[in-house]
Each structure stands twice: as C-alpha cells, then as structure tokens.
Chain A
Amino acid sequence: MERKRDIFIRLKKISEVVETLEKIKLTELELKKLFSEYDRLNLIENKTFDNWSNYLEDINSKLDHSTL
C-alpha cells in the first residue's frame, strides 16, 4: 500500500502574487458588470428596432388601405 505524500511548492515573491490576484479579481468583477451592461443595451436595441419595424409595417398597411 503506498503512503500518500503531500507535495509542497515553494512560492517566491508571494506578496506580489497576492497583489496580482487581487487585481485580477477586481478586474473580473468590472468585466462582469460591463458584460451585463452590454447585454442590457443589446436588449434595448433589439426592442427599439422591433418597435421601429412594427411602425413601418403599420405605415405600409395604412397607406395600402388609403387607396384612391
């Protein structure tokens, strides 16, 4: 039966690693917010565009009805 052994890796400049990891965490949070904002704007654009196309259809139908 093999004895389980723990393997340890020595980290030099651990303070720098911690600092960089914290920076990465903050940047990731900001990115998440930006992506959600982009999604929100995308939804608004799609809705507005749908509205625009509905009005266009409405105009076309009204002009078709008003035949002389």
Chain B
Amino acid sequence: MAMKKKENFEDLYVRLYDTHNKRKNILSAIKNSLIMQEELEKVVAVRKQKAEVLSMIKKKMSSINQDYQSIKKLLPNVKNVISYTEKELSSLETQVSMLNKNIFDEKNQIQVDKELIRKLNSSKNIDSFEDTASKNSTKKLKKTALGKSSSKAKLSKLDRIKNNLKVIESKLNHL
C-alpha cells in the first residue's frame, strides 16, 4: 500500500536536479525584475521632465520669434537701400557735372565779354579823336551799357549757379 501510494505521488512530483543553482537563478531573476521596474519608473520620470523642458523651450522660442518680428518692424528695409542711394548719388553727380560745365561756359563767356568791353572801350577812345558824330558815340555808349548790363546779368547767373552747386555738394556730403 505504501509503495502504491509512493508510486502515485511520484506522478505529481517533479525531480529537480541542481536545485541550488536553479533557486539562485530564480531569485536573481526576481531581483532583476524588481530592478527593471525601478529603471522603468526612472525612465517615466525622465520623460516627464523632458516634456516639461520641451514646453519651456516652445514658450521661449515663441517669445524670441515675437522679439525678432518687433525688431524687423523697427529696422528699415535694408534690401534696396544701397541701390536707391547709389541711384541718387549718380543723379546728383550728373547734376553737379552739368553745373560745373555751365560755370565753365559762363566763365568763358564772361572772359569773352570782358575782351569785347575792352575792345569797345579802346575803339571808343579812338573814335573820340576822329569826327564828332554824336550818333556813333551814343551807339557805343549803349553798347558798353549793354555789355556791362549783360556782364552783370551773367555774373548774377554765375552766382546762382555757384550757390546751387554748393547746395548739391552739401547734400552729397550729408549722404
């Protein structure tokens, strides 16, 4: 009977070989699983921190973008400044060159007029030794008067041109 019972129980029992190592492995596996659980909790906490940092980064980025936009509004549009100023400079330079040319021409004209006046004066002196023809003398006087007035007009025009030139040069210097 006892032998039969033993035989029945042997079906239910499993024989373990090398029990010490097996027990050790099972216990270390349980320990590792507990450590794993802790590591996983750490990972979850770190991910939470990362999400917070990311939200802070997003806020700062949006604020910095707003600041950049405000600066863009305050600063002028630099894209076309160089071309516009160069155009203005070239137009002013052409004006200056034209005025210089005009001044040169006027100076030449003044010199020519002076020569003419001198010649007229000299011819007037010669005529005074000849016949006393009053018409010629009045004509010459008129001529001289005209010549003087024309020179005066030329001079005033020259002054005006010089003044304009000075104004344009001052504008160039300011640019």
Binding site for B on A (CB under 8 A): 5, 7, 9-13, 16-17, 20-21, 23-24, 27-28, 30-31, 34-35, 37-38, 41-42, 44-45, 48-49, 51-52, 55-56, 58-59, 62-63, 65-66, 68
Contacts and interface: CB of A to CB of B under 8 A. Distances in A.
B60 A30 contact: yes
Q: How large, as a class, is the contact surface on chain B?
A: 35 or more
Contacts of A55: 32-33, 35-36, 39
Given A16-B74, A63-B25, A52 B39 contact: yes
Given A38-B57, A66-B22, A17 B28 contact: no
Given A27-B63, A45-B50, A9 B35 contact: no
Contacts of B33: 55, 59
B43 A11 contact: no
A3 B61 CA distance: 44
Given A31-B61, A34-B53, A45 B67 contact: no
Interface stretch (B75-83, B104-112, B123-131): B75-83
B153 interface: no
A5 B92 CA distance: 14
8 contacts: A10-B76, A17-B74, A24-B67, A34-B57, A45-B46, A55-B36, A63-B29, A66-B26
B137 interface: no
Interface in B36-87: 36, 39-40, 42-43, 46-47, 49-50, 53-54, 56-57, 60-61, 63-64, 67-68, 70-71, 74-76, 78, 81-82, 85
